[in-house]
Amino acid sequence: MAETVPTENLQPPRRHILGMEGVPKEEIESLLDLSESYIEQNRQDDKKSSILRGRTLINVFFENSTRTRTSFELAGKRLGADVINMSVSSSAIKKGETLIDTAMTLNAMHPDVLTVRHGDSGAVQLLSEKVTCSVLNAGDGSHEHPTQALLDALTIRRRKHSLEGLTVAICGDITHSRVARSNIYLLNTMGAHVRLVAPKTLLPAAIDKFGVEIHHRMEDGICDADIIMMLRLQTERMQGSYVPSTREYFRFFGLDRKKLAVAKPDALIMHPGPMNRGIEIDSELADDIHRSVIHEQVEMGVAVRMACLDIVTRNLSRNTNGSGA
Amino acid sequence: MTGRTAYINARLIDPASGTDAPGGVLIEGNKILNWGPGLFNGGAPEDARIVDCQEYCLAPGLIDMRVHLPEPGGEHKESFESASAAAAAGGVTSIVCLPDADTPIDNISVLEFIARRARETNIVKIYAYGTITRNREGGELSEFGILSEAGALAFTDGDRALADALVMRRALSYAATFDLLIVQHPEEPRLARNGQMNEGEMATRLGLAGIPACAEVMMIERDLRLVELTGARYHAAHVSTAAAIDAIRQAKSRGLPVTCDTAPHYFTLNDSSVMDYRTFTKVSPPLRDEADRLAVIEGVRDGTIDVIASDHRPQDQDSKRLPFLQAETGIVGLETLLPLTLALHHDENIPLIDLVGRMTSAPARLLGMKEGRLEAGRPADFTIFDPDRKWTVRADMLQSKSKNTPFDDHPVKGMAMCTVVGGRHVHSLID
């Protein structure tokens, strides 16, 4: 089934997926098309295929994560790969081994794909420069989280048929959000209209140069929006440093029914999770199956990651064959 | 032989006397005996050794007033020997060491250590600052008087800003008692906290925390008030922003005893160089935007920026091959100071003599050094350079132990042909 999806748009074949900045529309489209085929596979009783049989996937997480790691793990296993999870606590790093040492060590074990999450912006790219396998960025600092943007796009596309011309409001902590950055790049590439809604403390410098519309009032920002993406506000940023309090944040920037009323009647609510109920999003609204697609996003996440694994390993084979010829 | 050497056929550039003319220099031992345009018109003295300068520029030896020399403790990054070799290759005859975390120069024994290692190494001259505060902690003042008698040329806490306004006031007042110079790292540290690079579009794109450009000028503006209050001599180190340069320009026009320097990377690069998380571009203060870079050039042109110094800060691979957040700051600069500065002559039409002055007479005047000018009786320190010689910087060819330069493969114009320290040729391509 997957073999029928055209991949000739992926030129030159991409060995790594590190970010959405600069990724052309055709490539995103074909990744989303491929993901569609995996949604069906994941809904069968027998969810397993053998496309990645014999391949080794290592999930290297320098930062805690449950859902993203599980999603990559399932994606790998459903494609038949051997999957290893490695949590590298920051304390172990402080004991001396540098990121590059870790990269070289892992590389020596001949994995085919590393999915890497790291708390520092740029760390995944640095690691990718030192290994011979493929690297998927599972989130680096405040930089990028490309598979999140892809799964968001897939979710939207399935509900709205196309991203082109949609108005998408991204609300919350833009400054520290890799999800926001990846989504801004992807959505702009796909022809959506992107709005950002946040207090000025949570908007990074020069963000107006990223092809977005900036709003500081939630009611303006989500007015007539098709999609409302809420971002998670990190606990350490809630109490007085970036915003005075959680209740003040919810009052002005949390999504509730009253504010939602100005959006389009069929506007979808999205959240990358994990949610802070009652801080950025009203709890009942998050559970409203007519508006919230939060669980669908999680489902799409597995399919998108299967597509990413599929593509980069196809490119690996192509490169290997090329060099062997 | 009389121990005399005649440097003939030179283009003499002596900013202190405003000389830019063909001529020669006669030295005896480690001192200048005579010099001037047309000095050897009647022929060089017969008993002197002759060095033909081949019409290259002969200027007072370059003084690099900002060098981090991480000995003791950081010999794997740079030693006195490797720093001296780098200086000699770059045409630098005197370096002035900054206090830093490894070497807080806050007591006589550290100054004596530096002086002893400088004597042992005996390639270029190595001077030092003292710290403003003990262990650079920003609290208690160092012993300015005693340290100055022991050789400290001026006082600075290195790359740490003296943040406490009351301590700064007292440091300035006390320094004024002895007519000593206070050198500030001008950055409001609480505003710059956690910042990794210049705040702006590139920082946002890379997801790195930014340092706003105003962090520099707000510290300088505060300090200028204290200079007014105390009358002390104040120097703002490595200025990098248009606003800071404007503030200093205005202070100078009001007659305040204020000076500043910059480093070549601030007029050569802007923050777009950080792209792809190039840790070799991580410096403090950070590389700024293009408008600031152009303002630094104008500051050099109109004299607001008194001195150009390399801000030489060696870092080994382990300190730089890291995620940007974890990487150390610094660029090695001793060997690129001259050619990067000469680019302002070639590309920006700033007179050669002005640029040479920023690296010779100006730092000598600020720090009270006897070097920095051509004059009978002065030390025979000079740099003979070809301002037009084209070459390409190669990191692996640098004399510095550390290779942390963002200028690898960078084509430049201008090369030190001969470096003379106390009458000795410590680097020479002409004899």
B197-235 pLDDT, tens digit each: 999 999 999 999 999 999 999 999 999 999 999 999 999
> A231 at the B interface (CB within 8 A)?
no
pLDDT reported for residue A236: 72
Q: What is the pLDDT of residue B431?
A: 80
pLDDT at B262 over 80: yes
Which residues lie across from A290 on neighbouring strands?
A: none
Q: Worst-scoring range by mean pLDDT, A173-187, A228-242, B207-221, B244-258?
A: A228-242
Distance between A56 CA and the closest CA of chain B, angstroms: 26
Contact: B200, A206; criterion CB under 8 Å: yes
- Decide if B311 is catalytic: yes
Residue in B207, B209, B277 nearest the CB of A178: B207
The alpha carbon of residue B329 is apart from the nearest alpha carbon of chain A, in Å, by 16
**For residues B233-252, average pLDDT:** 98
Q: Is the pLDDT of residue A96 over 80?
A: no
Burial class (CB in 10 A: 0-12, 13-18, 19+), B73: exposed
The total of other beta-carbon atoms located within 10 Å of residue A53's CB is 11
Does the beta carbon of B324 lie under 8 angstroms from any beta carbon of chain A? yes
B207 and A143: CB-CB below 8 Å?
yes
Q: What pLDDT does A94 receive?
A: 59
- Pick from A120, A206, A207: CB nearest B326: A120
Mean pLDDT of chain B: 97
Which chain B positions have a beta carbon within 8 Å of A209's beta carbon?
201
Nearest to A40 by CA among A93, A70, A4: A4
The residue annotated as part of the active site, out of B20, B311, B381, B386, is B311
Q: Is A140 on the interface with B (CB under 8 A)?
A: yes
**A192: DSSP letter:** P
Residue B280 has a pLDDT of: 97
pLDDT for A1: 41
Q: Is the pLDDT of residue B339 over 60?
A: yes
Q: What is the mean pLDDT of residues A267-288?
A: 94
With a CB cutoff of 8 Å and minimum separation 6, the contacts of A69 are: A59, A61, A85, A117, A138
Q: How far apart are CA A227 and CA B38, in angstroms?
A: 81
Length of chain B: 431
> How many angstroms away from the CA of B100 is the closest CA of chain A?
23
Alpha-carbon gap, residue A253 to A43, rounded angstroms:
36
Cα dihedral value B318, A64, A150, B272, nearest 10: -30
* pLDDT grade for A322, boundaries at 50, 70 and 90: very low
Query: Mean of the pLDDT values across residues B228-247?
Result: 98
The answer to whether the Cβ–Cβ distance between B207 and A21 falls below 8 Å is no
Portion 68-127 of A in contact with B at CB < 8 A: 98-100, 118, 120-123, 125-126
The mean per-residue pLDDT over the stretch B79-88 comes to 98
Calpha distance B415→B386 (Å, rounded)? 5
Q: Is A305 on the interface with B (CB under 8 A)?
A: no
Of the candidates A221, A223, A227, A140, the residue with the CA atom closest to the CA atom of residue A190: A227
Q: Classify strands A134-140 and A167-171 as parallel, antiparallel or unpaired.
A: unpaired
Segment A91-112 shows an average pLDDT of 82
| CB-CB neighbors (< 8 A) of B323 in chain A | 99, 118, 120-123, 126, 141
Whether the CA torsion A317, A318, A319, A322 is positive or negative: it is: positive
Q: How far is B318 from chain A (nearest CA, A)?
A: 8
The chain-wide mean pLDDT, for chain A, equals: 91
How far, CA to CA in Å, does B297 sit from each of A249, B242, B306, B351?
A: 45, 10, 12, 13
Q: Contact B207/A205, CB-based, under 8 Å?
A: no
Q: Which residue has the tokens 């399932």?
A: A74
In this predicted structure, what is the pLDDT of residue A14? 86
d(CA B304, CA B66): 18
**Considering CB atoms only, which of B200, B201, B323 is closest to A118?**
B323
Token duo for residue B144:
């300015």
Contact between B325 and A126 using a beta-carbon 8 Å cutoff:
no
pLDDT single digits (tens) B149-201:
999 999 999 999 999 999 999 999 999 999 999 999 999 999 999 999 999 99
Residue-wise pLDDT for A197-236, tens only, equals: 999 999 999 999 999 999 999 999 999 999 999 999 987 7
Q: How large is the average pLDDT for residues B83-110?
A: 95
Which of B201, B208, B322 lies nearest to residue A121, judging by beta carbons? B208
Interchain CB distance below 8 Å, B325 and A120: yes
- What pLDDT, on the 0 to 100 scale, is given for residue B2? 59
Render pLDDT for A111-144 as a digit per residue (tens, 0 to 9): 999 999 999 999 999 999 999 999 999 999 999 9
> Cβ–Cβ contacts within 10 Å for residue A224, how many?
10
pLDDT of amino acid B252: 98
**Angle separating helix axes A146-160 and A25-43, nearest 10 degrees:** 80
* DSSP-assigned beta bridge partners for residue B24: B36
Percent of chain A with pLDDT over 90: 82
What is the Cα–Cα distance from B80 to A135, expressed in whole angstroms? 43
B16: Cβ–Cβ under 8 A, 6 or more apart, which residues? B60, B357, B360, B361, B372, B373, B374, B375
pLDDT at residue A95 in the model: 60
What integer pLDDT is reported at residue A234 of this predicted model? 81
* Contact criterion met (CB below 8 Å) for B171 and B155: yes
User: Which of B205, B212, B323 lies at the smallest CB-CB distance from A120?
Assistant: B323
